[in-house]
Amino acid sequence: MTKETQKKLSKIFVLTDLLIQEIDDPVKVPTKQTKVIQDKARELQLLLEPVLFDFYDKKEIKQTTFFITLQNKFNYIFNKEYR
């Protein structure tokens, strides 16, 4: 896998995880459409996990820290632009 492919997959993984988190509202019952989106996003996430985790195991990178850092940066920039 090339470095560019890895970067793209990592971005897709982070954005998919953010999508799942944003749609998930513990107070509201999801609509039929929201549930379909959640299910598809989780399905995509499950497909990406083995590829990404295999790469990060080989590189000895803590994927959890890496992905959380990316999510935090995305949220920071997004919130900053909407202030």
Asked if pLDDT for residue 77 goes beyond 90, the answer is yes
Percent of the chain with pLDDT over 90: 8
| For the chain, domain boundaries | 3-81
Percent of the chain with pLDDT over 70: 88
CA–CA separation, 52 and 64 (whole Å): 11
**Is pLDDT larger for residue 53 or for residue 43?**
43
Question: How many C-beta neighbours within 10 Å does residue 16 have?
Answer: 19
**25-29, 52-56, 60-64 — which one is most confidently predicted on average?**
25-29
